[in-house]
Structure 1
């Protein structure tokens, strides 16, 4: 079974950190990412980049409306994602628990949401 993991953060809380605090937090991520990839079960892993470049497309009055994204109402936004292939739900949880957002950044609202994918078509 494949699972998608969505890594969340709270932009306002993250923005309150000093540059040194951001660097200290983010510098802890590569070893955790490497540990997760070393399982051989990670199919995709990506940061979603700068929120200022995001756009949201919605149908409106028969046309596609483009606006700044992410959703303005959300306090948390998805900042990264990963797709893993696991033999059991417990294995998926164990691998997901290695992600930086499941280990670090409690003060800035980091979290991981794990969602089973009933269908996955690798590219």
Structure 2
């Protein structure tokens, strides 16, 4: 079963941290990422780039667009392979965003994910 992990944070607080603090965060996340990859449980990993999002909505039978985001607190996503929700929570709880960074508003949301793969 696959699980989507949304890594949330307070964007305003995160933008004010020093370069050395950012370096420490990356240094803490790197071993977790490597271990997760080695375990075979990491399916996809990515960081969202803020400030470049577009929202598409249906309006009067047409698609409208606007700049902005609906996921303003999401900074990264992981897709994990796990036995069940408890296993996914266990794996996600090892991520630094679930253990540190309280002052940055870090949190990890874990949700079951039904994936549909289409390949030519």
Under TM normalisation by the shorter chain, which class is it? 0.7 to 0.9
Unaligned runs of 5+ in 1: none
Q: Kindly report the root-mean-square deviation, in angstroms, between the aligned alpha carbons of the 2 structures.
A: 1.9
- TM-score of the superposed pair, with normalisation by structure 2: 0.83
Partner in structure 2 of residue 30 of structure 1: 30
User: Stretches of 4+ moved more than 3 A in 1?
Assistant: none
Partner of 1:40: 40
Structure 1-normalised TM-score?
A: 0.81
Q: How many residues align structurally?
A: 118
Which consecutive residues of structure 2, in runs of 5 or more, have no partner in the other structure? none
Superposed, 1:1-123 pairs within 5 Å as 1-48=1-48, 50-71=49-70, 77-117=73-113, 119-123=114-118
TM-fit CA distance, 1:82:
1.2
Q: In the TM superposition, what is the alpha-carbon distance from 1:10 to its structure 2 partner?
A: 0.9
Alignment partner of 1:64: what SS? strand
1:7 deviates by: 0.8
